[in-house]
Amino acid sequence: MKKIIFFTILIQFLGYPVLSAEWLTKRLSATPGDSDKAAIAVYSSNIHVVWAEDAVPTGNYEIFYKKSHDNGSTWGAEKCLSWNSGPSTNPVIAASGMSLHVFWQDATPGVYQIFYKRSIDNGDTWSNILRMSYTPGGSLYPAAAVWGESIHVVWSNYTQNGLNFEIWYKKSADNGDTWTSAKRITYNSGKSSTPSIAIYESNIHIAWQDDNPGNYEVFYKKSEDGGINWTTSHRLSFTPGLSQAPSIAVSNNNIHIVFKDASTGYYNIHYRRSLDNGESWLGKSLTSESLYGCKAPSIAASGPILGLVYFKYEGATDQRLDIWYQRSIDNGNSWNEEQQITFSPGESWRPRISISGKYYSTVHVVWDDSSVGNYEVFYKTKTYVP
């Protein structure tokens, strides 16, 4: 017993997380109104979570933030980042060192626009709000990625008097001090929306859903020079059903994309990967089959280790939702059997995942859960030994 205690103290001293054979769960929000649309970013042992909350006294949704400095064991108090007259929702967060970057859509200008806020001291203090988009039709669904001081954000813009969506892009090369002008990177007759972005060094990868082919399919493009030039769009899905809501992760030259696909009549999760920086793509693999459907996939990568989460309908009449998880330790060549990680009497949905660690791989998941009567944000973590 003394040896076990000594070993636990030693790995904590060395900065490694305490190993857990089971999933550990924490409730992060506790409010009379709904708290939902949670997003997560991880850097070292620092875990950062943002969400939209039906706030009092403003009476509309605001963006809230919470952090853990010890790999999810304990959490600080929540902080409100917005306090605007219009609803603020769909937040995303990216972290690099002590710098945090939060983007969300905000209706304060009259239509939704993309807003931004940052912290350069690990979430202790925050900058003033900066408006990122100025479009008459509105801007929605931001996604962000960071590499060092290089920050990249994409979103969907209404064009043609609100009849079409296109993907727009903006970057900062100095940790958010200054920003380039917004740049349009899709020019399609169909709707291009819900982008996802990932970065490795100067290589930026974007996936989105596009109904240009006649129904929604998943498309991809990349920049190899830090966002200056972009390739043409590359179609990744060719199915009779709708392919939507892509999530992208990258590690080195390996790119991983998951999305929901309705070809079987119900949504299931499909997976594509490239091992050569997006030059070619390996065949589609169905990673989950459900008679009643799976949605909202989210993927994360750390070297060859991949984590995938999604929610699954439990039955045709019993529409209870729970979160399911899959893991690959060989760069997506094979996946373990899917594992149910929530057993909620309410709805557990819209999960987001991140992976930290090199020697020890720690998985971090946040989601929205209605088991307490209204939607609240929950967090779950598990550490694996290689």
Amino acid making up residue 374? N
Query: Residue 337's Cα: distance from chain center in Å?
Result: 23
Query: Residue 238's Cα: distance from chain center in Å?
Result: 24
CA distance 128 to 250: 31
Q: What residue ranges do the domains of the chain occupy? A: 24-384
**Residue 359: which region, alpha, beta or left (left: phi > 0; alpha: psi -120 to 50)?**
alpha
The pair of structure tokens assigned to 129 is 């709000």
The pair of structure tokens assigned to 112 is 């939704």
Q: Please tell me the pTM assigned to this model.
A: 0.92
Burial letters 276-311, b for 16+ CB under 10 A, else e = ebbeebeebeebbebeebbbbbbbbbbeebbbbbbb
The answer to whether residues 61 and 88 touch, using CB atoms and an 8 Å cutoff, is yes
The H or E element spanning position 4 is helix 2-13
The pair of structure tokens assigned to 113 is 């626009």
- What is the secondary structure of 9-49 as a DSSP string? HHHHHTTPPPP-SS-EEEE----SS-EEEEEEEEETTEEEE
The pair of structure tokens assigned to 20 is 């857990």
CATH of 24-384, one of 3.40.1210.10, 3.30.450.20, 2.120.10.10, 3.40.50.150: 2.120.10.10
pLDDT of residue 45: 93
Q: Encode the chain (386 residues) as per-residue pLDDT tens digits.
A: 444 344 343 344 444 444 456 899 999 999 888 999 999 999 999 999 999 999 876 678 999 999 999 999 999 999 999 999 999 999 999 999 999 999 999 999 999 999 999 999 999 999 999 999 998 889 999 999 999 999 999 999 987 555 689 999 999 999 999 999 999 999 988 899 999 999 999 999 999 999 999 999 999 999 999 999 999 999 999 999 999 999 999 999 999 999 999 988 889 999 999 999 999 999 766 666 676 789 999 999 999 999 999 999 876 555 679 999 999 999 999 999 999 999 988 899 999 999 998 666 899 999 999 999 999 999 999 999 76
Decide: residue 3, CB within 10 A, 0-12 exposed, 13-18 middle, 19+ buried: exposed
pLDDT of residue 57: 63
The answer to whether residues 20 and 375 touch, using CB atoms and an 8 Å cutoff, is no
